[in-house]
Structure 1
Amino acid sequence: MSPPPSQNTPLTIALWQTSPCGDVQACLAQLKETIAVAAAAGADVFVTPEMFIGGYNIGPARIHAHAAEFDEIRRALCRLAAQHEIALVIGVAIPATPLPYNGCIAIDANGVECARYHKTHLFGDTDRAQFTAGEQLSPVFELAGWRIGLAICYDIEFPEVARDLALRGADLIVTPTANMEPFDTVATRLVAARAEENAVYVAYCNYVGAEGEFSYNGLSCVCGPDGQDQTRADTCATGLFYATLSHTTLEDTRQSQTHLQDRRPDLYGDDR
């Protein structure tokens, strides 16, 4: 089990369920408007879907072009976070060789980048044609008084990813995604299972609408450490969806859900 949280601070998270946009500058303009709304509503952390800056299913050439703009995009995001005094978790292409990373960055409310993650589990031909797989799981880092880990889309479907983050002390796993039909059960079943089996919060932020051959299925959600929905969007709504996370709820749940301390790593070949 993780040690007690360093603070007893509630956290309000805003998930932006939106349609993909293939233009970097248009994405930044939309972000500017929507972040202001979330900040005014009292959100502490704002989350976008996977590869929000410029789109996900757009082909290798455009992904390369967007990754080349990463430094400028990063500076713009840091300015937005500081201006509105809100932390951000944003999906973005990050330069790498031979293909860019499918990445996300976490920026604190002072506009300082505090973590960066590259998607480690690539899904299907689209991911493999466009991206280089990351080589390590997310760090667990402090953001707005909470210990947070990152995953991207397909990553959260692997129980080992969430378990590793929980064992390293994560209280919340933030997961930008670009999940499509017909895989509704990822959001309705697997995300809740990852939360409950690890007694952590999981925030899952998806697109709606179409992009190329994909029809995105929404269902963005925050699941509590008992696996219950704290907020959930439907399959077609756009907008901001809020949930307030509680350290008290987290610790109370961990008193009864003791999977982590009841594990038998001597049987699993797991040295944790």
Structure 2
Amino acid sequence: MKIAMGQFAVSRDPQDNAATCISLMQQQALAGGAALLVLPEAVLARDNADPDHVINAAQPLNGPFMTALRAASKDNALTTVFTLHVPTADRKALNVLVALRGGEVIATYDKLHLYDAFNVQESRRVMPGTQIPPLIEVAGMKVGLMTCYDVRFPELARRLVLDGAEVLVLPAAWVRGPLKERHWEVLCSARALENTAFMVAVGECGPRNIGNSLAIDPLGVIVARGTEAPGLIFAELAASRLAEARSALPVLENRRFAKPELEAKK
């Protein structure tokens, strides 16, 4: 399966961001022959001087942003994955991962683990999800869905792989900071290696976030990466490599722990 990772700096204008997403979907990813395009987290709107803008600009899934992207995807088989904020009651929002194909939303996932760390409190305006993400199928491979801070919680990746995932995708907006790029690379590589699964992790770039998108194979080898700048990065995910890795390193068969379950909401 050929995949594309489209990293860019999200602006405060949803129309501009929709145009960027559509350009990556139609002009570049399709021209490159990708079956799966992964975009960053929170692609609807961002203003680094106004942290609440991402919530104040939130739109429903039938709003103009998603309507434009659905129309752009209608006549092709590309699967595109990203997140956007969807409004809820009390001026809050859900951080919703969307998988889009053929003009339709084929899956959604509300982010479970909210980024309350390193002096950031995502939960101040965002509600956590309550359901394990679904799997989707792309080009004959099972794909598990995660979002940004989820990568720090190995239980979710393991659960998705035990549910059948062969590829893990992770839209992200990984904030810059001391050792943060090291955290990003180590965590993404670990989730791939410990689960013998491909990892496709795509980061927003710009002054706040690191970019540095990664495609990692089931033995933890980085096979493609982005820089700190906007770009479209391609990689091939081979089912034969997955089979070789799981034969040589049968950790899924050798494990002694039960399948992780989601803790009831407190």
Q: TM-score, normalised by structure 2?
A: 0.88
Partner of 1:8: none
CA distance in 2: counterparts of 1:38 and 1:141, whole angstroms: 19
Q: Equivalent of 1:233, from 226, 231, 239?
A: 226
Q: Would the alpha carbon gap of residues 39 and 114 (structure 1) be closer, same or farther in structure 2, given more than 3 Å must change?
A: same
Q: Unaligned stretches of 5+ in structure 1?
A: 1-10
Displacement after TM superposition at 1:113 (Å): 1.5
Q: By percentage of residues, which structure has more helix?
A: 1
CA distance in 2: counterparts of 1:221 and 1:238, whole angstroms: 14
The secondary structure found in structure 2 opposite 1:122 is: coil
Partner of 1:6: none
Instruction: Please say if residues 47 and 176 of structure 1, whose CA atoms lie closer than 8 Å, have aligned partners that are also in contact.
Output: yes
- The answer as to 2:178 corresponding to 1:186 is no
Partner of 1:171: 166
- The answer as to 2:59 corresponding to 1:67 is yes
**Superposition RMSD in Å:** 2.1
Deviation readout 1:18-67 (Å, 9 max, x if unpaired): 11211111111122222221111111111111001113865346514322
Displacement after TM superposition at 1:205 (Å): 0.4
Displacement after TM superposition at 1:68 (Å): 4.3
Instruction: Please say if residues 214 and 225 of structure 2, whose CA atoms lie closer than 8 Å, have aligned partners that are also in contact.
Output: yes
- The answer as to 2:193 corresponding to 1:199 is no
Displacement after TM superposition at 1:91 (Å): 1.6
Question: Which amino acid is 1:21 matched to?
Answer: S
Deviation readout 1:158-217 (Å, 9 max, x if unpaired): 11010010010001111000102221123211100100100111111002212xxxx211
Partner of 1:20: 10
Question: Which amino acid is 1:141 matched to?
Answer: I
CA distance in 2: counterparts of 1:49 and 1:194, whole angstroms: 18
Q: TM-score, normalised by structure 1?
A: 0.86
Q: Equivalent of 1:260, from 212, 236, 252?
A: 252
Instruction: Please say if residues 44 and 54 of structure 2, whose CA atoms lie closer than 8 Å, have aligned partners that are also in contact.
Output: no
Q: Unaligned stretches of 5+ in structure 2?
A: 262-266
Query: How many aligned residue pairs are there?
Result: 254
Displacement after TM superposition at 1:145 (Å): 2.0
- Equivalent residues in 2 for 1:1-272 (5 A)? 11-35=1-25, 36-55=27-46, 58-60=50-52, 62-68=54-60, 70-98=62-90, 99-108=92-101, 110-124=102-116, 125-182=120-177, 183-210=180-207, 215-234=208-227, 236-265=228-257
Deviation readout 1:62-105 (Å, 9 max, x if unpaired): 51432247533223222222234411102211233342111110
CA distance in 2: counterparts of 1:119 and 1:168, whole angstroms: 18
Q: Could you tell which deviates more after superposition, 95-104 or 144-153?
A: 95-104
Q: Would the alpha carbon gap of residues 220 and 59 (structure 1) be closer, same or farther in structure 2, given more than 3 Å must change?
A: same
